[in-house]
Amino acid sequence: MLLDTPIEYLKGVGPVRGQLLQRELGIFTFADLLEYFPFRYVDRSQVSSIRDMDIDDPYVVLRGTVSNLRTVSSGKATRLTALLSDATGSLELVWFQGLKWVKDSLKPNTEYIVMGKPNIYGDHISLPHPDMELADQEGTTTRKYIPVYSSTEKLKAKGLHTKGIAKLTEQLLRQVHGNIPETLPASVLQRYNLPSRASAIEVIHFPLNPQDITIAMQRMKFEELFFLQLDYQWARHLRQSSADGRVFAVIGNLFNRFYHEKLAFELTGAQKRVVKEIRADMRSGHQMNRLLQGDVGSGKTLVALLCMLIALDNGCQACMMAPTEILANQHHANISRMVDGLGISVELLTGSLKASAKRKVKQRLAAGEINILIGTHALIEKDVQFSNLGFVVIDEQHRFGVEQRSKLWTKSQVPPHVLVMTATPIPRTLAMTLYGDLDCSIIDELPPGRKPIKTIHATDHQRLKVFAFMRQQIAMGRQVYVVYPLIEESESLDLKDLMDGYDSIVREFPMPDYQVSIVHGRMEATAKDYEMDRFKRGETQIMVSTTVIEVGVDVPNASVMVIENAERFGLSQLHQLRGRVGRGADQSFCILMTADKLSNSGRERIKTMVDTTDGFRIAEADLKLRGPGDLQGLQQSGILQLKLADIVNDEPIVRAARETVQDILLADPSLASNDNAPLRFYLSKNQKKLPWSKIS
Ligand code: ADP
Ligand code: MG
C-alpha cells in the first residue's frame, strides 16, 4: 500500500534523512509522517510588534520592511544580514546558508511577514533563518495557521526544522491525496458526525480555522481509543467464544472446611457477591480474566484465597504474584496460617531465596507436591514449571505490565483463570483504558466494625503536640508508624532525613520505656524481616520506615500513622499508607505532617485526604490533580499506550469509544458486515502484534 512506503522514498527525504527520521522521531513510513502531528499552530495574522514581542516565543510573527542587506565576513565564515523595521523598532535578520539565493530573492524596502525564533546575541536580538512571505500576498497563496512540529538538533542540522517537516508533509499529502483509507465504519462516522480520516489528517496539517483542528483531533483521538477498545473487547470475545477454560465444577472439601471451620467471621455482602461472580466464570468453560477492585482492607486477599481453594478442590495448583518481597512474605505467612491443618502445601518463591532452596521449590512444584505458590517476579522466570496450574492471582497489578501478566499463563497448557487485584481503586476511565480486557468485580463494602480513620493535618510547628499524642496512644497499648518519603533521585538525602527522624524519635521515646523499629529499602532482607517481626509481635511500639510498608502490611494493633513530609507523596500513596491503620477495633488516626507553606496541589492533596476516606473518590481526585503528564510513567513503561488522547480531559471520548465497540460487537459478533470490514482488516493486521490477545 502507498502509505506503507518507506519514508526515504518520499521526494526530498532520501536515505540519510530517512535514517534520521526513523531514529529521531520513529517515522518509518509515509503513514508515520502523516501521523506526526504538529504540537501547536502559529496564527500568521497575530502579528507582534518588534518592541513588544516575546523573546521566549519559539515562533514570533512580525511584519515589517526589509533594508540594509549586507554580506559580512569574519574569518572564513560569511553571513548575510538585513534590517527588519516596523513602526516600533528594528532587529536583525541573519542567514548563514544559501546566501546568494536569499540575496537574489529578497526585495529591499518591501513589506514582509517574517517568522522565526528570536535569538539574543550580545546586546542585540536577531532572527536567524526566518520564514518570510511578502505581506501583500497574504491570504492568497499563504496559510493563516502554520503548524509547528517538534524536531531535534540532528534533524535541524539536515534542514528538518519545523518548516522542513511541514514541507515534507505538504508534499506527501499532495502525493497520497485520495489514498488515505478510512479505518472506521461508516456508521460510526455517522453516529458521532466525525470527519473522514483523510480530511482529519489534512486539516491537522493544513488547518483553515481553529474549530476544524479541534474536530479533526477529536476524530483521531476517537480512532485511537476505539481501536484500543476493539483490541480489548475482541480478545474478550474470543475468550468467551472458545471453550478452552478449565471447568471448576465442584466446591469441595478444602473450600468447605476452610469456610466452616477456619473462617472466624462472616464474609461481607460484597465479598459474597464477588466470590459468586468468580465462581460463575470458573464454571463457564471459558478462561476467566477478572479485575478485582476494592479499597485497602476491604478483604480482597481473602476472596483470592477462597478462589484458590476452589482451584485446589478441582485438582489444580494456584499461585499468587506480589510486587515486593515483603508483600510476598506476608501473604505467604498469612495464607499458611489461615489454611493450617487443611493439609495444603503453601510455598514461597522470591529472588532472595538461596539457590538450593529455589531449586527444591521448583522441583516440588513440577512434581505437583506444592498446592499454592506465592512469590514475586521470580514466579515468571522460565524455569518455573507447574504440574497443573489452574488459577493465578496477581496482587497490586498496576506494577506489572500486560506482558508480565501474559508470561504467567504460558505456564500451563490450558490457560489458567486469572484474577488481578489492584492495591487501591482506580478511576473508571483509567480502568477502561488499562484493563479494558478484563471483566471487573468491585468490593464496595468494608468489613463491619471498622471505625473510619480520623485524619489530621499538622505542620512542623505542632510536632511536640504530635509526640504527646503518640505517647498517649502508646500508653493505651497501641502502636505507631512514622513514615518518611523515599524518592529515588534523592535517595541518599532522603535516607539522611529518615535517619535524622529516627534519632529524634529515639530521643523523644527513649529505652527502656519505648522500643523503636526501623525499616528501609537499603537494609538486608533478614534485618528487615527481624525488625518487621518485632513490630508485628508488639515488642516495639514505633515503626520508623520508608514507604516499604506502603502496601499490604497488616498489624491490626497499629492505630496511628504519622506521615512525614506528606506533601511529597501522591494521593494514592497517602491513601495506601493510611490504609495500614484502621484494621482493628480501635479508633485509628492518620497525621499528615507538612511544612507551613504548601504548593496549591500539595494543599489540595492534603485537603482531599482530610475530607474523605473513600478510595474511589481519592482515585478520581488523584487522576485530576496529577493530570495526564504524570501518567507518563505508565506510558513509558508501555502499560498505557496512548499517543493522542488523554484520559483525564478526553473522558467522554473514552466512554464513547467503549460504548461504540460494545454496540458493534453486540450487533455483529463476528464483524461480518460490510460496514465492519475495516475492523476485520485491522484485527487481521494486528493479531500478530498482540500474542496475548487470544488469552488475556
Ligand atoms: P485487602 O487485600 O483488600 O487490603 P485483606 O484481605 O488483607 O484486604 O483484609 C484486611 C483485613 O480484614 C484482614 O485482616 C482480613 O482478615 C480482614 N477481613 C477480611 N474480610 C473480613 C470480613 N468479612 N470480616 C472481618 N474481617 C475481614
Ligand atoms: Mg492487600
**Residue 447 alpha carbon to ligand 1 centre in Å:** 7
pLDDT (0 to 100) of residue 431: 79
pLDDT (0 to 100) of residue 648: 78
Domains of the chain: 1-39+168-180 (no CATH), 41-148 (2.40.50.140), 253-443 (3.40.50.300), 454-612 (3.40.50.300)
**Residue 371 alpha carbon to ligand 1 centre in Å:** 22
Nearest CA to ligand 1 atom 11: 297
Q: Is the CB of 428 under 6 A from ligand 1?
A: no
- Centre a 10 Å sphere on the Cβ of residue 256 and count the other Cβ atoms it contains: 12
Per-chain mean pLDDT for the chain: 87
pLDDT (0 to 100) of residue 135: 80
Q: How many Å apart are CA 606 and CA 612, to the nearest integer?
A: 10
Ligand 1, atom nearest to 449 Cα? 25
Q: How far is CA 456 from CA 12, 459, 560, 581, 612, in A?
A: 64, 10, 11, 14, 11
- Is pLDDT larger for residue 105 or for residue 357? 357
Q: Are 365 and 385 in contact (CB under 8 A)?
A: yes
Coil, helix or strand at residue 204: helix
Q: Are 52 and 88 in contact (CB under 8 A)?
A: yes
Is the bond preceding 512 in cis, omega lying within 30 degrees of 0? yes
Mean pLDDT on 123-150: 78
What's the grid cell of residue 134? Answer: 511578502
**Residue 296 alpha carbon to ligand 2 centre in Å:** 6
**Residue 525 alpha carbon to ligand 1 centre in Å:** 26
Q: Which amino acid is at 278?
A: I
pLDDT (0 to 100) of residue 241: 76
Q: Is the CB of 275 under 6 A from ligand 1?
A: no
Nearest CA to ligand 1 atom 10: 297
* H or E element that contains 95: strand 89-95
Residues in the chain: 696
**Residue 502 alpha carbon to ligand 1 centre in Å:** 31
Q: Is the CB of 265 under 6 A from ligand 1?
A: yes
pLDDT (0 to 100) of residue 401: 59
pLDDT, tens digit (0-9, with 9 covering 90-100), for 57-116: 878 899 999 999 999 888 888 999 999 999 999 999 999 887 888 888 888 888 998 988
pLDDT (0 to 100) of residue 629: 52
pLDDT (0 to 100) of residue 550: 54
Residue that the C-alpha cell 506528606 belongs to = 566
Q: Does the pTM of the predicted model rise above 0.75?
A: no
pLDDT, tens digit (0-9, with 9 covering 90-100), for 465-510: 999 999 999 999 999 999 988 755 566 777 778 888 899 999 999 9
**Residue 212 alpha carbon to ligand 2 centre in Å:** 48
The lowest-confidence range among 8-17, 218-227, 325-334 is: 325-334
**Residue 202 alpha carbon to ligand 2 centre in Å:** 50
Mutate to test the pocket of ligand 1, among 302, 443, 444, 575 (most ligand atoms within 8 A of CB): 302
Q: Is the CB of 344 under 6 A from ligand 1?
A: no
Ligand 1, atom nearest to 303 Cα? 6
Nearest CA to ligand 1 atom 9: 299
Please enumerate in sequence order all residues whose Cβ is within 8 A of that of 508, keeping only pairs 6 or more positions apart, or say none.
Answer: 467
Q: How many Å apart are CA 312 and CA 250, to the nearest integer?
A: 10
Q: How far, in whole angstroms, is CA 72 from its chain's centroid?
A: 53
**Residue 326 alpha carbon to ligand 1 centre in Å:** 18
What's the grid cell of residue 597? Answer: 507553606
Q: How many Å apart are CA 377 and CA 321, to the nearest integer?
A: 7
What's the grid cell of residue 374? Answer: 506465592
Q: Is the CB of 554 under 6 A from ligand 1?
A: yes
Q: Are 252 and 342 in contact (CB under 8 A)?
A: no
Q: Is the CB of 163 under 6 A from ligand 1?
A: no
Please enumerate in sequence order all residues whose Cβ is within 8 A of that of 68, keeping only pairs 6 or more positions apart, or say none.
Answer: 81, 82, 83
What's the grid cell of residue 139? Answer: 491570504
Question: 372 exposed, middle or buried (CB, 10 Å; 0-12, 13-18, 19+)?
Answer: buried
Q: Is the CB of 164 under 6 A from ligand 1?
A: no
| Confidence tier at 173 by pLDDT (50, 70, 90) | very high
pLDDT at 140 over 60: no
What's the grid cell of residue 660? Answer: 461504540
Residue that the C-alpha cell 504519622 belongs to = 562
- Is pLDDT larger for residue 553 or for residue 314? 314
Q: How many Å apart are CA 431 and CA 102, to the nearest integer?
A: 56
Q: Is the CB of 297 under 6 A from ligand 1?
A: yes
Q: Is the CB of 447 under 6 A from ligand 1?
A: yes
Q: Are 336 and 366 in contact (CB under 8 A)?
A: no
pLDDT, tens digit (0-9, with 9 covering 90-100), for 273-294: 999 999 999 998 888 989 999 9
Q: Is the CB of 298 under 6 A from ligand 1?
A: yes
What's the grid cell of residue 41? Answer: 499552530
Q: Is the CB of 299 under 6 A from ligand 1?
A: yes
Q: Are 598 and 517 in contact (CB under 8 A)?
A: no
Q: Which amino acid is at 104?
A: D
Closest among 421, 355, 411 to 383, alpha carbons compared: 411
pLDDT (0 to 100) of residue 679: 94
Q: Are 679 and 251 in contact (CB under 8 A)?
A: no
pLDDT at 318 over 50: yes
pLDDT (0 to 100) of residue 347: 97
Region of 487 please: left (phi>0), alpha (psi -120 to 50) or beta.
beta
**Residue 581 alpha carbon to ligand 1 centre in Å:** 13
Q: What is the DSSP track for 205-272?
A: HS-SSHHHHHHHHHHHHHHHHHHHHHHHHHHHHHHHHS--S-------HHHHHIIIII--SPPPHHHH
Q: Which amino acid is at 123?
A: D
- Centre a 10 Å sphere on the Cβ of residue 458 and count the other Cβ atoms it contains: 16
pLDDT (0 to 100) of residue 548: 66
DSSP 8-class letter at 86: E
Ligand 1, atom nearest to 423 Cα? 4
- Centre a 10 Å sphere on the Cβ of residue 655 and count the other Cβ atoms it contains: 14
pLDDT, tens digit (0-9, with 9 covering 90-100), for 589-640: 999 999 989 998 899 999 999 999 988 888 888 888 876 555 555 555 555 6
**Residue 566 alpha carbon to ligand 2 centre in Å:** 22
Q: Which ligand is nearest to the CA of 551?
A: 2
